[in-house]
Amino acid sequence: MPRVLVADGDPLIRRLLRRCLETDGYEVAEAEDGAGALRAIRENQAFDVLVTDQALASLTGVELIAIVQEIDPALPCLICTGKGDLELATVAMEAGAVGFVMRPFRPDHVRVAVQRAVERRRLVRETVRLRLAAPMLERFTTILANTIEAKDSQTQRHCERLVRLSDALASELGLDRQLRATVRLGACLHDVGKVGVPDLLLRKTGRLSADEWDVLRRHPEIGASLLADIDAWVEVRAIIRHHHERFDGSGYPSALAGYAIPLGARIVAVVDAFDVMRSGRPYRAARPLEQAVEELRRHRASQFDPDCVDAFLEMLAREQDGIDAVGVPTRSGLLVDELHRLRQR
Ligand SMILES: [Fe+2]
């Protein structure tokens, strides 16, 4: 039940507002002056709306709203104004009020104003909840991905590096905040389908047979189908499903080519290949940075989106931190110059 605090020096007005709001199912608390209202809010910050008169005993309504906004910026405040009192409404809005209740009071006006304020409170709370939940979800996803990865190889923290570098590349390519979040989740979970691949196969150090490759190549589709029930993850699933497509159309599982491959999958493909080359796999030793960079350049526009490769190399060359992030020993400046030289060859 939403809770409304009514601050007004006139007991008749308080009773009138209480009756009107309680009829609509609100729980109403009263304060006869500004100090009382502040005390009630400080002692119990569970109000959803404050309705205040301007002519309070210890504080004006505008002063009360300004202080309340410092205590709880998400608490919607309404000021009671007389007809034509535009100046008061304007000053109250500047202090943080979200609306006003017109005097003389009409129950339907009071209801609409309070209802809107309550809805606003709900939306603010929902936004805050999502903002808090999103990083937790990402963290949980990383833990899940690292757990799955542990069954794949000795390579530790591949997913975390992938998330960090994919996010940096997405930013380099100018993607907005929401798309970057999708890329991070896709990068983190790109190999989640490996839960459906036998451990023996994942840990095999010798060459894989054709049949074994067929089994391994099912992991993008397995991964996408595992997350099929999460409606909001259509784009995340697309990254997982298509991260082994190749720009020239020779990849799997759908042999998509060029820009038909989702951008997130093109980003992850470049970063994943780079990190796998740098960190090695049970069946292949880690390669030096120069070789990894050369390999990306060699397969630019055949295996990889050329724009993604260019942006990634640009980013590596520019960001010393980015180079550190993938575990490359740095020699202040020299390595950056070396990368520039490789890129321009
Ligand atoms: Fe994969």
For residue range 170-224, list pLDDT tens digits in order: 999 999 998 999 999 999 889 888 888 888 888 788 888 999 999 999 999 999 9
The answer to the question of residue 134 being in a domain is no
In a domain, 31, yes or no: yes
The alpha carbon of 92 is separated from its chain's Cα centroid by a whole number of angstroms, namely 34
Q: Are residues 110 and 11 in the same domain?
A: yes
pLDDT score for 205:
81
Q: Kindly give the distance from the C-alpha atom of residue 48 to the centroid of ligand 1, in angstroms, as a whole number.
A: 48
> What average pLDDT does the chain have?
85
Residues 117, 162: one domain? no
* 188 and 315 assigned to the same domain: yes
Note whether 258 and 301 are same-domain residues. Answer: yes
Cα of 243 vs centre of ligand 1, distance in Å, is 7
pLDDT at position 105: 86
pLDDT score recorded for residue 146 = 66
**Residues 177, 313 within the same domain:** yes
CB contact set of 344 (below 8 Å; sequence gap of 6+): none
Peptide bond preceding 329 in cis form (omega within 30 of 0): no
Domain boundary among 106, 124, 142: 124
pLDDT for 285 equals 84
Domain count, the chain: 2
**Axis crossing angle, helix 86-95 with helix 61-71, rounded to the nearest 10:** 20
Of 134-138, 205-209, 218-222, 325-329, least confident by mean pLDDT is 325-329
Provide CB contacts within 8 A for 138, sequence distance 6+: 163, 181, 184, 185, 188
User: Which domain does 103 fall in, by range?
Assistant: 3-124
Same domain, yes or no, for 199 and 88? no
Distance 264 CA to ligand 1 centre (A): 14
239/203 same-domain check: yes
* CATH number, domain containing residue 272: 1.10.3210.10
Tokens of 332: 């202040």
Ligand 1 center to residue 344 CA distance, Å?
A: 30
In a domain? residue 166: yes
The active-site residue out of 83, 151, 194, 204 is: 194
The CATH number linked to 33 is 3.40.50.2300
Contact criterion met (CB below 8 Å) for 191 and 219:
yes
Q: How far apart are CA 222 and CA 198, in angstroms?
A: 13
- The answer to whether residues 49 and 191 belong to one domain is no
Report how far ligand 1's centroid is from the alpha carbon of 341 (Å).
30
Whether 194 is catalytic is yes
Residue 178 lies in a domain: yes
CB–CB of 68/52 below 8 Å? no
- Name the pLDDT band for 120 (thresholds 50, 70, 90): confident
- Output 255 or 333, whichever has higher pLDDT: 255
Helix ranges, 173-319 (H): 177-189, 199-202, 210-216, 219-226, 234-242, 263-279, 289-298, 306-318
Report if residue 160 sits inside a domain: yes
Shared domain for 113 and 49, answered yes or no, is yes
Residue 130 lies inside a defined structural domain of this protein: no
Point out the domain boundary residue: 124, 143, 173. Answer: 124
Query: What is the three-class DSSP state of 203?
Result: coil
243 and 284 housed in the same domain? yes
120 with 155, same domain: the answer is: no
Residue 270: pLDDT above 60?
yes
Do residues 98 and 192 share a domain? no
Residue 139 falls inside a structural domain: no
User: Does 129 reside within a domain?
Assistant: no
What distance in angstroms lies between residue 308's CA and the mean position of ligand 1's atoms? 18
Distance 188 CA to ligand 1 centre (A): 11
Chain centroid to CA 314: how far?
A: 26
